[in-house]
Each structure stands twice: as C-alpha cells, then as structure tokens.
A and B are shown apart, each in its own frame.
Chain A
Amino acid sequence: MSSSTESIDYAKLRQDFVRAVARLCPTWLSSQRDDLVQAAIMRVMQIVDRQSGGNDAPAFASSYLYRVAHSALVDEIRRATRRQETALDDAPVDSVAVTFNDPERITASRQIGRAIQDCLSAMHRDRRLAVTLHLQGHSVPDAARVLDWPAKRTENLLYRGLANLRECLMNKGMQP
C-alpha cells in the first residue's frame, strides 16, 4: 500500500476539456480543438509535476486540479486565438488552418459585441450584472447563486436588462 502512488485521471480531465472547448470554440476545426486540448493537458501535467516536485504522492485535491486546469485552458485558448488572428492577418486563407467560416460575419459579430459592451456600460448596475451572466451562458438559478440574489429578482433584472440592451442596440442601428 505504501508503494502506491497518487494518480490523476487525466482521461476524465481530457473529456472535460474536449467538452468545454467544443462549447467555447464551436467554429474551430475539430483538429484544432484537439490540438488545443492536448497542449492544455500537457501544460496541466507540467504544472502538477512541478508542484509535486516529482514526488510520488502529490496531495492534489480535485478543486486544485481544476483550478490549474482552468488556468492552462485559458492560456491555451488565448494562444490559439492569437495564432488564428495572426493567420487571418498575415497569410493566404489556404496556407493555414483558418477556421473562421465567414470573415464578414465575424467582423459584424464583433461590432455588435462591442456595441453590447457599450450598452452594458450604460445600464443600471444590477441589470448589467444579470444580463452579463446571461450572455456568459448562466441560467437564472445559476446567476442568482453567483450574484447571491433571489432567483425571482435576478429574473426580473434580466428581463428588464435585456429589453434595455435591445433598445440600446436598435438606437445604434443594430438589429439584435
């Protein structure tokens, strides 16, 4: 028993990465998502190994592992995104694995995204918080938990905030 080692189920972590990246980067080619996942897993292994000092029995709680995984995945997504942006700027479309389907649509989407940011800035704070979490993919109960507000209040703020957001975008000449 004493010779056994603490081990980490990297297969499960990898599954989690695959699922997360598929949801976060739906327009990327699957091969690029795979590469990103591999790179992130290797980074996690590197950090875990460094933190354990190469010992056989690292005392890693799951919460710590996911914290490390989060950091690694954020880093790799940013790195991969930069590479894609550079590819878009510098190279002919067919020379690299550019994943964007429609550059015009992407540009338009970013313009709307920046307009959303402007509209959020001008919004009443509590509505801004509720709408932001909605845009981030949180359900109402989940947003209520994060904000520590009752669900009903969160829902009302979201409803009014989304109305504000749509009106603001319309005033900017954008059809949300």
Chain B
Amino acid sequence: MNTTPDPDTRLKEAFHAVADNAPDDPSAEDVARVWSAVAGELPAEERRQLVERTATDAPLAQAWRVAHELHQAQLDGAVNVRRSSSWWPAALMGIAATLIVAAGVRVLYFDRTPADVYRDSGGYVITSELATDAALPRDAFVLKWKPGPQGSRYLVRVTTADLQVIMTAPELTAAEVTVPSTALAPVPAGGRVLWQVVMSSPAGETVSSQTFVTRVR
C-alpha cells in the first residue's frame, strides 16, 4: 500500500488558510459559475479564467474546493431523486410542510450575495439570546431570540439533530417559545436540538434566521 505523504500538504494548507479570514464572500453568481466550471458546463476558456481568479481570490478558491468535493461525491453516486410514497419519512414530510410557511422568505441564494442574505433584510438579523451550544433543562426549555420591530410575529421550527420535527410554533408574538418536555422526549440528555426562526414584521418584511443549536441538559 502506498502511504507516501503529499509533499505539498503544507503548501495546500497555507493556500486554503487564507480564506478563513477573508472579509468578503463570493457572489451568488460566482458560486454558480464555479459549480458550472467544475461540472464541465462552461467553455474551457471560461473555466481557465475562473481558475485564474481562484489563484488570488481566497473565498472563490474555497467555493471551488467545495464544488470539487461535492462534484466528486456526485460522480461517486448521485443522490436519488426517486418516486416513492413510502421512503419519505413522516418527519421529513413534516419539516417540508413547515418549510412551506417560509416560502415567501426573501432569503434567496440566486438573487443576492449569500453572505448578506440576512443583513440585506432591512438590516435586521435574528440572533439567538442563548449562548452558543447552550444546554437547557428539559422542563424549562425556553428558546429566546432578539426581538424584531414592535408587532412582529414569529414562526419557530424545532428539530432533532437528525431533522425530525418536534415542534412548529407559528404566530408567536413574543421573542421566545417554550418547547414542552414531551416534545423533547426523542432527544437524549446532552442531545442537540436545532431551531430556526422566521420573523414577519408589521411592514411585511420576512426574515429567516440561521439554524441555532441548543442542547438538552
């Protein structure tokens, strides 16, 4: 078995590390073009031009690496998009149903810069009031977030780590919600719960949060 280490590992690590503190993100258009290039959908010269940009544009280079990895995975065996009435778990159907509520959310990858999707929403960002990876007691599992403008309403969806929906709470007027201990039954002590907030402001603006992670104590 050949276990010769890659002599250029350090060079590669250094080249990749530049992206970590690069302030700017690649635009949605560039990200899409990178995928097209890696997938061989762009003409050769356009592919070369993109490669040339990645030499000095670290975030774009990072997007290229992500595309390269995923494209390899796709070639190894693409995700099935298949007809089945039985495979789709009820839990995923549930989360899909709740996601429909967010269909109007203006968090689009394809019409704005991905990194700014939240900040662009009128300048409002939904942030958790809980510490990163906080652990809450099962019988007082209160999720809290920074309130939006007066009169805002919130939808909160909560899932287990494997995406089973355990609670969906629509039309909340307060910036907090209690997850009943009965809903937390599938989550073991120390287990993680994922939650997202979708805010509708009185002005008609809709903002979606990132996914927050909270543990059950």
**A132 to B15 CA separation, bound complex (whole angstroms):** 9
Closest chain B residue, CB of each to CB of A35: B213
26 A/B residue pairs, CB under 8 Å, sorted by A: A5-B83, A12-B80, A16-B73, A34-B192, A38-B194, A62-B79, A66-B70, A67-B35, A74-B26, A74-B62, A75-B114, A78-B25, A78-B59, A78-B62, A79-B115, A97-B132, A109-B17, A112-B11, A134-B8, A135-B8, A135-B15, A136-B15, A136-B61, A147-B44, A176-B10, A176-B11
B163 touches A38 (CB 8 A): yes
Please report whether the interface of chain B is mostly helix, strand, loop or mixed according to DSSP. Answer: helix
Contact of B55 among A60, A97, A132 (CB under 8 A): A132
Those of B41-70 within 8 Å (CB) of chain A: 44, 47-48, 51-52, 54-56, 58-59, 61-70
Closest chain A residue, CB of each to CB of B36: A67
Q: Which residues of chain B are within 8 angstroms of A172 by Cβ–Cβ distance?
A: none
Contact of A73 among B39, B59, B66, B96 (CB under 8 A): B66
Q: Is A30 an interface residue (CB 8 A)?
A: no
A-B contact count (CB 8 A): 239
Closest chain B residue, CB of each to CB of A128: B55
Q: Which residues of chain B are within 8 angstroms of A151 by Cβ–Cβ distance?
A: none
**A114 to B15 CA separation, bound complex (whole angstroms):** 7
Q: Which residues of chain A are within 8 angstroms of B109 by Cβ–Cβ distance?
A: 47, 68, 71-72, 75
Seed contacts A42-B196, A128-B55; 10 additional CB < 8 Å A-B pairs: A4-B85, A8-B80, A19-B73, A24-B66, A35-B213, A39-B194, A78-B25, A112-B10, A117-B15, A120-B56
Q: Is B38 an interface residue (CB 8 A)?
A: yes
Contact of B15 among A6, A69, A113, A148 (CB under 8 A): A113
Closest chain B residue, CB of each to CB of A174: B14
- Using CB atoms and an 8 Å cutoff, list the residues of chain A in contact with chain B: 1, 3-10, 12-13, 15-16, 19-20, 23-24, 31, 34-35, 38-39, 41-42, 45-47, 49-50, 53-54, 60-63, 65-75, 77-79, 81-85, 96-97, 106, 109-110, 112-114, 116-117, 120-121, 125, 128-129, 132-138, 145-148, 162, 165, 176
Closest chain B residue, CB of each to CB of A162: B8
Q: Is B169 an interface residue (CB 8 A)?
A: no
Contact of B68 among A54, A121, A137, A147 (CB under 8 A): A137
Contact of A120 among B48, B55, B88, B196 (CB under 8 A): B55
Q: Is B103 an interface residue (CB 8 A)?
A: yes
